[in-house]
Amino acid sequence: MPLDHGAIGVESAPLDRSWTSKDALLYAVGVGAGVDDPLSELAFTTENTAGTPQRVLPTYAVLLAQVPGARRIGDFDPAMLVHAEQAFELHRPLPAEGSLRATAKVTGIYDKGSGALVVTESTAVDPETGERLITSRGSVFIRGEGGFGGDRGPRDEWRLPDRAPDHEVAYRTRPEQALLYRLSGDRNPLHSDPAFAARAGFDRPILHGLCTYGVAGRALLHTMAGSDPARFAAMSGRFSSPVMPGESLITSIWAEGTTALFRTAKEDGTVVIDRGRASFR
């Protein structure tokens, strides 16, 4: 059954979501906060450290703005779906606990030949005031669903700077990192079930793309925003290769005033997040 192009532009019903201090702490640990030095990121991993009020990692915004099952786009093997790109804009810092109302819509289905790229956008607002909190844009690539003769989609003019990076930040992940991260809501068996991972062509379960994204976000936050979430405005990147739990990740950052370009790679040089951009206040 082909993908349903009638889904494009149809806004979902609103989803009300709340989160607690514990949820934010679990997310921080899930993306590796404190893994190298448990005392280094206490503002994000504890709520009761003297003189250190709890803060929330900016990339948690992506999870909070998600609207699961907003609109079916057709029948396909879920093992053929991979996260392709992710971007978000944070309109104000996230509190340690709170609530929001989110809606989502498919904004495009593009023909990439070997598969289809499905692009979605979600908006999260304060349920009391309607003030926008988060704008999130993401895409998934569904192998085997291309070749329908559609538009290939817009081109990204990102260029690797012709100079050495201004910063390189290395973080390791834990062997059980995916088992920690899935507790924040993404229970896709690709990241925990060996049989499901084998159907997708992997020897073992892989790390969530958004966990890798969160690791890169930590590098950007601490390097470019002085560890202050209020200064972190936006981030985007393209997932280019899977990560296995336990692998180390190196984020290379090219600073350009209040913006930055970045790439995240494994120790062997394999790029796992490409065409990265971020902006800061």
What domains does the chain contain, in order, with CATH numbers? 5-280 (3.10.129.10)
Q: Any idea which of 62-71, 158-167, 198-207, 270-279 has the lowest mean pLDDT? A: 62-71
Q: How confident is the model at residue 151 (pLDDT cuts 50, 70, 90)?
A: confident
Assess whether pLDDT exceeds 70 at residue 266.
yes
Who has greater pLDDT, 72 or 107? 107
pLDDT at 105: 95
Assess whether pLDDT exceeds 70 at residue 70.
no
The DSSP call for residue 42 is H
Q: Any idea which of 185-189, 225-229, 264-268 has the lowest mean pLDDT? A: 185-189
Q: How far is CA 248 from CA 11, 43, 212, 219, in A?
A: 39, 23, 10, 13
Has 191 been annotated as catalytic? yes
Assess whether pLDDT exceeds 90 at residue 273.
yes
Average pLDDT over residues 219-235: 98
Assess whether pLDDT exceeds 70 at residue 217.
yes
Rounded-to-integer distance, Cα 123 and Cα 78, Å: 25
pLDDT at 16: 97
186, 193, 268, 274: which one is catalytic?
A: 186
What residues contact 272, with CB distance under 8 A and at least 6 apart?
212, 239, 240, 241, 242, 243, 249, 264, 265, 266
Has 91 been annotated as catalytic? no
Assess whether pLDDT exceeds 60 at residue 73.
yes
Residue 264 one-letter amino acid: T
179-203 in b/e form (b: 16+ CB < 10 A) is: ebbbebebebbbbeeeebbeebeee
What residues contact 159, with CB distance under 8 A and at least 6 apart?
none
Assess whether pLDDT exceeds 60 at residue 277.
yes
Average pLDDT over residues 56-68: 96
What residues contact 10, with CB distance under 8 A and at least 6 apart?
71, 105, 106
pLDDT at 71: 59
3-state SS class at 274: strand
Rounded-to-integer distance, Cα 261 and Cα 235, Å: 10
The pTM for the full model equals 0.94
23, 83, 111, 191: which one is catalytic?
A: 191
Average pLDDT over residues 34-59: 97
pLDDT at 1: 53
Average pLDDT over residues 107-122: 92
pLDDT at 72: 72
3-state SS class at 219: helix
Q: Any idea which of 1-5, 66-70, 99-103, 264-268 has the lowest mean pLDDT? A: 1-5
The DSSP call for residue 52 is B
Of 117, 98, 127, 111, residue with least CA distance to 239: 117
Q: How far is CA 6 from CA 10, 103, 220, in A?
A: 8, 17, 38
Backbone angles phi, psi at 170, to 5 degrees: -105, 130
Q: How confident is the model at residue 68 (pLDDT cuts 50, 70, 90)?
A: confident
